[in-house]
Amino acid sequence: MHPFTISLLLLLHLLVLCVGSHAAVETSFTAFRKKTGRSTLFLSATSGQRENVDAMISHDRRDLLNAIMTASIINYIVHPVSAVAAEEKSPKPTFAKDIYGTDLAADRFVKARSGPGDRSLVMGLKGDPTYLIVDDSGVSLEAFALNAECTHLGCVVPWDAFQKKFICPCHGSQYDASGMVLRGPAPDPLALAHVDVDPDTDRISLTKWHEPTDFRTGVKPWWI
């Protein structure tokens, strides 16, 4: 979420909390007076005593309001920031889908492939064409997937299993098996995504690559 949006939401929420807190305190005081009968005491008190009681209530109310305001501000500052941080640390997964939009099950998907090193297209993050890779064991998937869009102008790059390269049909860029550029004009390697398998449903999940380093280049990924 954009920092400006977070700030705006924070201010709006603070405003709502202040109004809500004040109303809640007023309600509590009314109930408190009814319960304790302080209003009855007022009737029989002298004017000096009434002033003292008024001052006491006013003081109590100010303390309570201050406490609520302080707690609200702390909660508001700490909670959204930690929530956004948690979201960024653990982005929501997308389940890999076939061309019919059906979630893919890892076991069946791998068994239907040609063996170790197979690279097959699925629908990935945001519906992007994405290559899932069968690892060397031949029975499971690599922990990363490759976005199939050429980093030159976005053509989908087919995998040539014989040459073991991705070769772009549009302007001839070539990428090696891990998506690194072998020949331009593509300026950057194919983007990465994380691959996991849901232990309960066996569905293949993809999440955005959020680490600060691209393990192939050793530098910051160009797509984040």
The binding site for ligand FES (CB under 6 A) comprises: 150, 152-153, 155, 168, 170-173, 185-186
- CB closer to ligand FES, 45 vs 155: 155
List the 204-208 sheet strands across, edge first.
94-95, 204-208, 192-197, 144-147, 129-133, 119-123
Indicate the length of the chain as a whole number: 224
Q: Please name the helix (run of DSSP H) or strand (run of DSSP E) that holds residue 55, with its range, or none.
A: helix 47-89
- Reference 10, options 60, 79, 68; nearest CA is 79
Partnered with residue 146 across adjacent β-strands are 131, 192
Q: How far is the CB of 153 from ligand FES (least distance, A)?
A: 4
CB 88, CB 209: distance < 8 Å: no
- CB closer to ligand FES, 104 vs 191: 191
- CB closer to ligand FES, 17 vs 191: 191
Q: How far is the CB of 185 from ligand FES (least distance, A)?
A: 6
Q: How far is the CB of 6 from ligand FES (least distance, A)?
A: 36
β-strands 119-123, 129-133 pairing = antiparallel
Q: How far is the CB of 191 from ligand FES (least distance, A)?
A: 14
- Angle (CA) 215 219 224, round 5°: 90
- CB closer to ligand FES, 97 vs 119: 119
Q: How far is the CB of 174 from ligand FES (least distance, A)?
A: 9
- CB closer to ligand FES, 24 vs 155: 155
